[in-house]
Amino acid sequence: MPEVGRRPRARRWASVAAVNLLTLAVMLVAADWGARRLCHAEFEALFSRRARPLLGDLPVEPHPRRGTALKPGYRDDLYRVNADGFRGAELPPDLDRYRLIAAIGDSTTFGWGVGEGEDYPSRLMERLRRSGLPDVYVVNAGVPGYTSSQTLAYLRELLAGPLGVDLVVASVLWNDVWYSTVAEWHPSLLLGQPPAAWRRWLRDHSGLYRCFAVSRAARSDQVDVFNAPAFDLYRSNVEEMARLARRQGTRLILLEPPFDGGRMPKDGLNRFHIRYTRSFFIDLAHRHLDAVAEVAERHGVPVVPHRLSIESRSRRDLFLDTLHPNAQGNDLMAEDVAAFLIENHVLEDLEVR
């Protein structure tokens, strides 16, 4: 008899637990649905697929000194990373026969959104070789999401490593501008690790997580914020790049980042909860570029303009979005860089190792 009495009680408890779990599940689904609707406007820019390079998605992985790095051996329908961590094919075994150029920077150097061989470093090598320079090799050391701090750390590695880089072409700006708007900004943010796998899963599938993770520090009423410490660090990092290259006896050239104002929304951009009006954003970019020009002049480092820079007229047909050129745009950048290197006899000073 006691066994018979316990069984109904156990079944009742199981039924109550099941009902409570079902109720909780329904409440969570409803809360997640509400979070997606209420927070959508705030987190869309940060969590959109175009913003993924900033968040550590493929093809990057954690790196102890640079925060992130390309995954050696990674390959998908669009991108290939070789065993040395550069975008593109494997390095030739006789690399010491070539004058080696390293293109470093962010996703605009990496070639975000364009296929194999369509990034500007690949096109640059092709153009130089067609111009009668068969002993030049260009490696694409661009990494999506890189800031000036990460680019500087990578430059240290490249110049101290075994490759023997002869010329560096560096382009970095936009991620420093984006991150400068994060509430409670600090320098280590520019060397941050990508989110753990479980956080990336929640980010992709949970509106509640996105709402609370992003909105807890939100101050969406802020507009056109200038972060002086972030700006000073950017300028300091560019200056240290120039000093480092000089100490290592390596030529450094700075490349203006691409930008298409015609694709920028009229009401500006909203990232990390601080809105940039269009005019302020362009003025802020010019302020950073003016700082680069001042540093470059002081250290005798050339700054290469091109037909896709912020000074150029809008060319919507050459861009995938405001910042990233399409294949034709990358080719045009490569053409202008190649012309600069040839017309200014930069490569003539580089000796084959």
Nearest to 86, CA basis, from 176, 167, 154, 160: 154
For every one of its 353 residues, what pLDDT tens digit does the chain have, with 9 covering 90 and above?
455 555 677 777 777 777 777 787 777 777 666 666 665 444 433 334 444 444 445 688 899 999 999 999 999 999 999 999 999 999 999 999 999 999 999 999 999 999 999 999 999 999 999 999 999 999 999 999 999 999 999 999 999 999 999 999 999 999 998 888 776 778 887 887 666 666 656 666 676 666 665 554 444 567 888 889 999 999 999 999 999 999 999 999 999 999 998 888 777 776 656 678 888 888 999 999 999 999 999 999 999 999 999 988 778 899 999 999 999 999 999 999 999 999 999 998 776 55
Strand residue runs (E) in 150-201: 167-171
What's the distance, CA 93 to chain centroid? Answer: 30
Nearest to 335, CA basis, from 124, 118, 119, 140: 124
Q: Identify residue 45 by its one-letter amino acid code.
A: A
Nearest to 253, CA basis, from 103, 123, 131: 103
Stretch (H or E) spanning 228: helix 228-248
Distance between CA 154 and CA 163 in Å, rounded?
13
Q: Beta-carbon neighbour count of residue 229 at 10 Å? A: 11
Render 69-86 in DSSP notation, one character per residue.
EE-TT-B-SS-BB-TTS-
Residue whose pair of structure tokens reads 């984006």 in the numeric block: 178
Report pLDDT digits (tens) over 252-272.
Answer: 999 999 999 888 877 777 665
What CATH number does the domain located at 42-349 have? 3.40.50.1110
**Does the global pTM surpass 0.85?**
no
What's the distance, CA 13 to chain centroid? Answer: 53
Residue 7 CB-density burial (10 A; 0-12 exposed, 13-18 middle, 19+ buried): exposed
